[in-house]
Amino acid sequence: MDNIDSIIECTSNSSNVFFPYCVNQTTINQFGWNIGYRSQSYVYITPTYLQEYLGYLYNTFLTPIVITEFGFPVFGEAEKLDLSDQLFDTPRSIYYWSYMSEALKAIWEDGVNVRGAFAWSFADNW
């Protein structure tokens, strides 16, 4: 949807292919960077640059790397009352899988010394 009339037309037609969102969504920002998809208003899933960034850190500081405090708030998580939704956390699984895949690429393809990765730290939410 690219104008207000198209959006109004879409929102009034539940069979429209864009309904209920009725907007175009892109993962590329105005500068051409892939910012990824977001779960909530401020959290984006963008593992694209992690391999390169880990390589930069390792080659700049010449010290092993530990990835700490990275997580993903699933949209509407508090409303997920079914046990199956809680046991099979697909969005968060995809998030961790994609980031850890990039970390493994940094280790095996670039020789980066990644010692570990922690979803939460002792100082979480302090």
Cα angle vertex 95, ends 90, 96, to 5°? 100
Name which of 72, 124, 123, 79 is nearest 100 in CA terms: 72
pTM score, two decimals?
0.64
pLDDT band at 119 (very low <50, low <70, confident <90, very high): confident
State the average pLDDT over residues 86-95. Answer: 79
| Cα dihedral across residues 83, 84, 85, 88: positive or negative | positive
- Identify the CA nearest to 76 among candidates 62, 67, 59, 89: 89
List, as one string, the DSSP characters of 47-72. GGGHHHHHHHHHHHH-S-EEE-S---
2 pLDDT higher than 60: no
Q: For residue range 36-58, list pLDDT tens digits in order.
A: 655 555 566 778 889 999 999 99
Give the pLDDT score at 106: 97
